[in-house]
Each structure stands twice: as structure tokens, then as C-alpha cells.
């Protein structure tokens, strides 16, 4: 059962074990936020934890960034849909056939998660992508892969808040944009590079904000979530 609320905040549950993840989740409400389960927590705790979160009423973004041959990615997306997740993602550089296969698998499911593509990882510099054979500006590659993702049936992409305006303009206003790299005013930046505040990211057109440490490492996570919600109220 997915929540019927429309929270824009997706909290990244980047924890090493179920107890730590649930200790945070117990303080939250599905009306306030959605939850993201990434590789570390999923590899440690698996689908049972995801189902537990869904049964508590939360929408879950399964952030496993599938990238493999079309048949394998389609089967993994089908499994994610069967698990009942709200959003799942794949790497756009897996190509058109892989994304189309993922989309077909989801369209055939009774429960249809949003299908989101990752374009260029924000950790990759111009030099890093040159080293893997792409002599192109990262921003140009982001736009190319976002177009391919849209044409291959994806609902949207993960992108930096700085890319939101351009992608809404160049792709489509209803193309779902999910943005990490969000830091409330005054929060520690950590290892994120090109950040915006939640209010700035939403004003730019971001549909969902992925926020981890500013909430998970806060002394009072619920207070931190409520502050972010308040900051965004008038947008």
C-alpha cells in the first residue's frame, strides 16, 4: 500500500543495518516524507526490510541503479514492481533497448513504480568521463542521456539541482526530476559538490528532493524534516 500523500522529500536511508534504519523511521510519518533504500542497506537487509517500510505506509524508492543486458534489467524491474516499491531506477547508459525492456516489464506489472534513469553520476568529472571514452562535456552527456531516457519510456531522471531548469525546458515539464545534492541553509555540505537549498531546488522545478545526512545525522531528525517542510511551504 503506497501513501496517498504528496511529499517532495525522499529521505536516503543510508544505514548499515535494519535497527538503525528503523530507529529513524519510527520517528517519521508517511505524510511527511518518502524513503530511499540504496545498495548498502538493500544488500544487508534485502526485500524484507523494503516490505516492512511499505507496510508501515511509506513510499519506497529502490535506488539500485540497474545496468545489465535488457532481459536481466527487465526481470529486476519486474521484481521491484512485485515488491511494491514506488520508484525504481536504471542507468541510462545501459541504452535504449535496456530501458525499453525495463519499461515493458513495468507496464505488464499490476503495480507500476515510477521508472527513473540515472544519466551521468555526479561523482564523475570531465576527465573521468574522457577516461572511459567520452570526449564530451558532462552536461552535454546528461542532456543526451535524458533525451534517450525520455524516448525509451522513462518517467524521469536523477539529476543535480543545477540541471533542473535546463532539463525541464529541453525535455518536458512533466518529466520527473529527482535531485540529490540538497542542503538546507546552514547544514554541513559533506562530500556533495554542487548544492542548492530545498527551497531553491523546488523553485528551479525539482519534483523530488533526495536528502540524507542533513536529516539522518541530525540530533532531532523529525525537527530537521519539519524545518525543511516549513522552508518549502511557500513555493
Catalytic residues: 65
Q: Which of 9, 12, 74, 117 binds ligand C5P (CB under 6 A)?
A: 12
172-175: list long-range contacts, CB under 8 Å, 24+ apart: 173/205, 175/146, 175/150
Residue 180 as a binder of ligand C5P (CB under 6 A): the answer is yes
Min CB(118)–ligand C5P separation in Å: 7
Residue 210 as a binder of ligand C5P (CB under 6 A): the answer is yes
The answer to whether the CB of 216 falls within 8 A of the CB of 13 is yes
Residue nearest to ligand C5P (CB): 212
Residue 101 as a binder of ligand C5P (CB under 6 A): the answer is no
The SS3 of residue 118 is: strand
Residue 38 as a binder of ligand C5P (CB under 6 A): the answer is yes
Min CB(42)–ligand C5P separation in Å: 12
Residues numbered 121 to 160 that lie near ligand C5P (CB under 6 A) are: 121-122, 158
- 172 or 217: CB nearest ligand C5P: 217
Residue 228 as a binder of ligand C5P (CB under 6 A): the answer is no
Which string of b and e fits 10-19 if b means at least 16 CB within 10 Å? bbbbbbeebe
Give the N- to C-terminal CA distance of the chain in Å, as an integer: 29
Report the candidate in 20, 58, 56, 54 with the shortest Cα–Cα distance to residue 40.
20
Q: Which of 113, 156, 161, 212 binds ligand C5P (CB under 6 A)?
A: 212
Q: How far is CA 95 from CA 21, 91, 143, 150, 166, in A?
A: 34, 8, 14, 12, 22
The binding site for ligand C5P (CB under 6 A) comprises 12, 14, 38, 121-122, 158, 180, 190, 192, 210-213
Amino acid at each position: 500500500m503506497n501513501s496517498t500523500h504528496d511529499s517532495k522529500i525522499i529521505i536516503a536511508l543510508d544505514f548499515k543495518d535494519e535497527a538503525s534504519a528503523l530507529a529513524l523511521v519510527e520517528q517519521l510519518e508517511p505524510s511527511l516524507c518518502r524513503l530511499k533504500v540504496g545498495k548498502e542497506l538493500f544488500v544487508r537487509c534485502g526485500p524484507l526490510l523494503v516490505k516492512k517500510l511499505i507496510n508501515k505506509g511509506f513510499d519506497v524508492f529502490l535506488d539500485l541503479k540497474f545496468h545489465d543486458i535488457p532481459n536481466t534489467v527487465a526481470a529486476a524491474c519486474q521484481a521491484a514492481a512485485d515488491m511494491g516499491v514506488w520508484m525504481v531506477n536504471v542507468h541510462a547508459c545501459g541504452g535504449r533497448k535496456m530501458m525499453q525492456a525495463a519499461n515493458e516489464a513495468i507496464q505488464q506489472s499490476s503495480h507500476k513504480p515510477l521508472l527513473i534513469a540515472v544519466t551521468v553520476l555526479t561523482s564523475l568529472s570531465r576527465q573521468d568521463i574522457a577516461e572511459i571514452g567520452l570526449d564530451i562535456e558532462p552536461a552535454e552527456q546528461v542532456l543526451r542521456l535524458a533525451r534517450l531516457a525520455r524516448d525509451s519510456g522513462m518517467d524521469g531522471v536523477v539529476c543535480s539541482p543545477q540541471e533542473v531548469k535546463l532539463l525541464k525546458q529541453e525535455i518536458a515539464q512533466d518529466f520527473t526530476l529527482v535531485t540529490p545534492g540538497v542542503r538546507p541553509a546552514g547544514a554541513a555540505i559533506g562530500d556533495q559538490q554542487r548544492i542548492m537549498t530545498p527551497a531553491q531546488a523546488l523553485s528551479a522545478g525539482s519534483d523530488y528532493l533526495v536528502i540524507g545526512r542533513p536529516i539522518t545525522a541530525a540530533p532531532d531528525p523529525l525537527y530537521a524534516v519539519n524545518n525543511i517542510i516549513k522552508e518549502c511551504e511557500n513555493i
